[in-house]
Structure 1
Amino acid sequence: MVRGPFKSSSGSITPSDDGTDGHRLPETERSSTDAIADFVAQARAVAASESRGRLVFALDATLSRQPTWDMACALQADMFREAAALGSLDVRLVYYRGFNECRATGWISDSAELARLMGKIDCRGGKTQIGKVLAEARRHATSARIRAVVFVGDAMEENVDELCARAGELGLLKVPLFMFQEGNDPVAEQAFREIAQLSGGAWCRFDPGAAAQLRDLLRAAAAYAAGGRDALLRLAASEGGAARLIGQMK
């Protein structure tokens, strides 16, 4: 289900009766009881949310990216399946395209719903907006307890020093960036490597149209988001994508 809408980004308690003599409880006792019940409910909600892995899934949706966008739509369910073996996963899709357009969904816990939303988005010409992606992740790093950020793209057309500063902030918050580069652009590679290193994450290249390579990388990132470093280490024993990530992480 979707936990929140796309964005450009109390009930009252009815007093209860005693139940033994038909008289209402004293006001102070009712207030205390209600306060405890409210506290317990909030504590349970927090515990439930903290037990779920949360991953920001960021994609370059500029015009050249349409083939990879379609491929990512088909592969994203593997992230949920990998995480299901470890617990659960909530994904927040962030994408940029066109002229100054950068959007995010709410938290999504169902792969079919994420695929449906991604299927409605078409790629449009424009420049990269990686800085906005990192700023969005930084805003939610503490309040939403994000465990990792995945970025899939093939270019970088921004001030690299500013991007590195934001990556370093995420690193201090223990939110690693997994920078997955399609193709061989040397400018993008240099920037993505530095961003990943400063955040405590990893950079990996995959070949254009290589679904198997991207699938392994997404599965590895989901394993980390759901189960942490130990889960990634276990997966690395059998899958190359996870081994590529864990080999770079601090």
Structure 2
Amino acid sequence: MTGPDQKLPAGQGRAEIDAFLRKVAATPARREGERRGRLIFALDATQSREAAWDRACRLQGEMFVETAALGGLDLQLVFYRGFSECKSTGWVSDTAELARLMGKVRCRAGETQLGRVLIHAEAEAGRGKVDALVFVGDAFEESLDRICALAGKLALRGVPAFLFHEGHDPLAARAFREIARLTRGAYCPFDASSPGQLRDLLAAVAVYAAGGRAALEDLGRRRGAGVTALIGRMGGG
């Protein structure tokens, strides 16, 4: 786990976020009139993530709030923790239900199981279209070769993976970057001391997937200068 005094260097963090937003901007959005978007929201719930889990519980509502006017979003929660425990919920369409489900989970010590998340996402995409996989974690303790093979299968299903990296563990960074590259998603580290940063990035992925760039520009007008600045950097703008 990254210690509380270890933060991303300011320049590196900003550059990574800019690159992440450009990748989001390049992801094709659904056309108006199509079905609701479907997003898998996966989190590391091992012991080192306890404080982060509480933050995620508070932030998750942004994805529903900001996409409601765009036709809505169906979201499935996936998490791993403890000894070989990886679970998923059904698809939910409102923030209260997701908050209830997340509130029942308690973090437990254990090793990472990102491979099982990818296997689940690929299987879910085989049953019906999945627009994106979002993963939030801070560590990686698995075989990179195996993870890359699983990411390749997910890519064949057309599911981009957006990986949010808390801290700066180099092994996790390498694995998360490879998954993002193979699935044509994006990788972005974030500073755990700035929850607003993660909130805006989660909202950006959800809003863009649901309504495209026009919807993001509207989000910027409603949320103020901070979001507008993020949008201005998307797509190289």
Instruction: Pick one of 166, 176, 183 that aligns with 1:192.
Output: 176
- Kindly indicate whether residue 60 of structure 2 is the aligned counterpart of residue 86 of structure 1: no
Instruction: Pick one of 128, 152, 155 that aligns with 1:144.
Output: 128
**Structure 2 partner of 1:103:** 87
Structure-2 separation of matches of 1:147 and 1:84? 16
Letter in 1 for 2:87: R
- Following TM superposition, by how much is the alpha carbon of 1:208 offset from its aligned partner in structure 2, in angstroms? 1.9
Could you list the per-position Cα deviations for residues 40-90 of structure 1 after superposition, in whole angstroms to 9, with x for gaps in the alignment? xxxxxxxxxx61110000000000101110000000000001111321101
Q: 1:236 to 1:203 in 2, by over 3 A?
A: farther
Q: 1:122 to 1:190 in 2, by over 3 A?
A: same
- Following TM superposition, by how much is the alpha carbon of 1:142 offset from its aligned partner in structure 2, in angstroms? 3.3
Unaligned runs of 5+ in 1: 1-49
Instruction: Pick one of 155, 163, 170 that aligns with 2:147.
Output: 163
Could you list the per-position Cα deviations for residues 6-42 of structure 1 after superposition, in whole angstroms to 9, with x for gaps in the alignment? xxxxxxxxxxxxxxxxxxxxxxxxxxxxxxxxxxxxx
Q: 1:231 to 1:193 in 2, by over 3 A?
A: farther
- Following TM superposition, by how much is the alpha carbon of 1:167 offset from its aligned partner in structure 2, in angstroms? 1.4
Could you list the per-position Cα deviations for residues 116-146 of structure 1 after superposition, in whole angstroms to 9, with x for gaps in the alignment? 1101110000000000000000001132211
TM-score of the two chains, using structure 2 as the length reference: 0.77
Structure-1 separation of matches of 2:216 and 2:160? 13
Letter in 2 for 1:127: E
Percent identity between the two aligned chains:
59
**Structure 1 partner of 2:201:** 217
Q: Kindly report which structure 2 residues correspond to 1:28-177, keeping only aligned pairs within 5 A, or say none.
A: 51-177=35-161
Equivalent pair of 1:68/1:209 in contact (CA under 8 Å): no
CA RMSD of aligned residues (A): 2.3
Structure-2 separation of matches of 1:103 and 1:75? 20
- Following TM superposition, by how much is the alpha carbon of 1:240 offset from its aligned partner in structure 2, in angstroms? 5.4
- Following TM superposition, by how much is the alpha carbon of 1:182 offset from its aligned partner in structure 2, in angstroms? 0.2
Q: 1:195 to 1:229 in 2, by over 3 A?
A: farther
Structure-2 separation of matches of 1:182 and 1:64? 11
Q: 1:246 to 1:116 in 2, by over 3 A?
A: farther
Structure-2 separation of matches of 1:176 and 1:79? 17
Letter in 1 for 2:203: R
What secondary structure sits across from 1:126 in the alignment? coil
Equivalent pair of 2:66/2:219 in contact (CA under 8 Å): no
TM-score of the two chains, using structure 1 as the length reference: 0.73
Q: Which has more radius of gyration? A: 1
Letter in 2 for 1:201: G
- Following TM superposition, by how much is the alpha carbon of 1:110 offset from its aligned partner in structure 2, in angstroms? 1.0
Q: 1:227 to 1:72 in 2, by over 3 A?
A: same
Letter in 1 for 2:204: A
Count of matched residue pairs: 199
Q: 1:77 to 1:246 in 2, by over 3 A?
A: farther
Comparing both chains, which one has the higher relative contact order based on Cα–Cα distances under 8 Å and sequence gaps of 6 or more? 2
**Structure 2 partner of 1:41:** none
Letter in 2 for 1:58: A
**Structure 1 partner of 2:15:** none
